[in-house]
Amino acid sequence: MTPTAAVGLLSATLWKPQFRWVIERIEVLAKVSWTTMRRNESETAITRDHLARGYLDVDNAVQQRMTTMLRDVHYRIHANVWVHPDAVEQDPAKWRAQFTRRVERGQSFRQPFLGMREFHADVTPADDTKPITWNEDLGVMLHSINYNEQTGAETYDWFDAKIVNGVLDIPRAGLMAEAGKAGV
């Protein structure tokens, strides 16, 4: 799981404009197994022309794609709350406590998912499961997606991902931020 996917899971449970989730560590608690799936996707977005016609001709706009994905995953996410300096409420413990209550009650703002909306995820209280024995250099992985509110542009940052004893430690900043460059 990428840090951005972990942020998505946590934000599905509790999101407030006053804070952001900061992922510190992801523990892999189940053996990694892979599967493939073939699915149909539209090769185009719906345009004004499609709306004017009232339909999208899927027979002529469909592409079949093969997806290779993890299956039966089980993670433990370690995260912290970064509170925006302009937020009225500055106590991150308040947001963590609210998150814990929502997880215990099984509440979420939207259905949590992994990767694609078809792959629903369960966010449950942490248990005592130990990380699996797994060491691997995963290469460069997506660290964060940043949005410039003035321009509406997205930038991306990356990091060197390594699993050590089933644990993926996430650096505070990605490679681009460390180099003093804007993400690309």
Using one digit for the tens of pLDDT, what is the confidence trace for 111-152? 998 877 888 899 999 999 999 999 999 999 999 888 888 888
Q: For the whole model, what pTM was predicted?
A: 0.81
Q: Which CATH class is domain 3-34+68-178?
A: alpha beta
DSSP E strands: which ranges in 74-135?
Answer: 75-83
> Residue 21: what pLDDT?
93
User: Alpha-carbon distance 43 to 140, whole Å?
Assistant: 28
Which of 26, 2, 6 is CA-nearest to residue 167?
A: 26
Alpha-carbon distances, residue 145 vs 75, 142, 170 (angstroms) = 21, 8, 14
The string of pLDDT tens digits covering residues 17-76 is: 999 999 999 999 999 899 998 887 777 777 787 677 777 777 777 788 888 888 899 999
pLDDT at 42: 75
Domain ranges of the chain: 3-34+68-178
* pLDDT tens digit sequence for 157-175: 999 999 999 999 999 888 7
